[in-house]
Each structure stands twice: as structure tokens, then as C-alpha cells.
Amino acid sequence: TNPELVAVIVKQCLKAGAKEVIVFDNTCDNWRKCYTNSGIEPAAKAAGAKIVPGDSESYYKTITLPKGKVLKSTKVHEAILNCDVWINVPILKNHGGAKMSIAMKNLMGIVWDRMYFHRHDLQQCIADVCTLSKAPVLNVVDAYRLMKNNGPQGKSDADVVVTKSLFISQDIVAVDTAATTFFNQVR
């Protein structure tokens, strides 16, 4: 996610009266390295946010998903469970397993055992985690630079297309639908 976008969201939350803004993600690689290399940590801190790690199972608490079909329970990061509201800020990209990674898929970043999703019907588990009773109040899809091919990590700069776009909605399905339509039109 573009660190400048993260900083703007942090500032807007504080301006709107938030007493504290926390930024976190359960990254695929070393979280400290990801936050530093991406520029998210310095941008978020400069904007007034607190960065919390997601690299230890002790940060996650088991919750049930009564509406889940495959994923009946999972461990969700305490930052999500303890907050008043949260904002989901994914990037728009191709994903080898899920085909697309946008707002719904990004919820895998709030859970501990993402490999469960990959072993037990990835698409259904993504849908199931979206039944979480504490849904994001806003989904801000960063499509400034989207990964058109070879996601989730890409192989070269040729996989990235600069579109300078953004999709925002309270409705996670609507924002993913709009972003997917846009993605399919980008050459």
C-alpha cells in the first residue's frame, strides 16, 4: 500500500477525533523489514499512528464465524478485536491462488493462520472471514500502482501498471466489484 495514502488516512482519522490510530498487517515476510522497506512505518509514525506487530500468535484471539461455511473459527489480531472501528486498506493486484487480491482477500492480513485458507478452499475461506461481525467501516483500495501480473509479489516492474486510481466504499463486495471491473479494463 502506498505509504502516502496510509499517512493521509491516519491524519484524517486523527482529524476526525480518533484518540489513537494503529497500523498493522500480518505480512507474508518479516513484518519489520516490510514496514521499513515499504515506507509505511515512517509515513504512519510521522502522521501520528502507532505501528503494532502481527508476527506472534500471542497477538491473536480465537473468534467464531457462525455464518462461515468452511472457516468456522479463526484467530484475529487483537488490534481489530479491541478497536472501535477499523479501515481496510488493500492494494489492487493479481493473485496466483485467489486470482485477485483486493478488500475481501486483504482480510487474510488480520488472521493468524492464513495457510488454513490455502489448504481448505481459499475462495470460500475468504468469503467466510468476511462474515466477521466487526467488519471494516471503510475499504480504501489503493490502485495507484496495481500489479497486473504475477501476483502476489510480482517478478519485475513490468508486472506493475500505474493507474493513479482509488476505490472507496463501506461495502466490501461493492468495492471489490468496482476494482475488479477496473482491473479487467487496464492493459
**Per-residue pLDDT reduced to its tens digit, 114-127:** 889 999 999 999 99
In the predicted structure, residue 152 carries a pLDDT above the cut 80: no
Tell me the residue length of the chain. 187
Query: Which of left, alpha, beta for 154 (phi over 0: left; psi -120 to 50: alpha)?
Result: left
pLDDT at 37: 83
Q: How far apart are CA 7 and CA 166, in angstroms?
A: 15
What's the mean pLDDT in 139-151?
Answer: 90
pLDDT for the residue 36: 80
**Average pLDDT score over residue span 109-114:** 92
Planar angle of CA 100, 101, 107, nearest 5 degrees: 140
pTM: 0.93
Extract the C-alpha cell encoding 86. Answer: 477499523
The residue-averaged pLDDT of 139-147 equals 94
What does the alpha-carbon distance between residue 104 and residue 6 come to, in Å, rounded to a whole number?
18
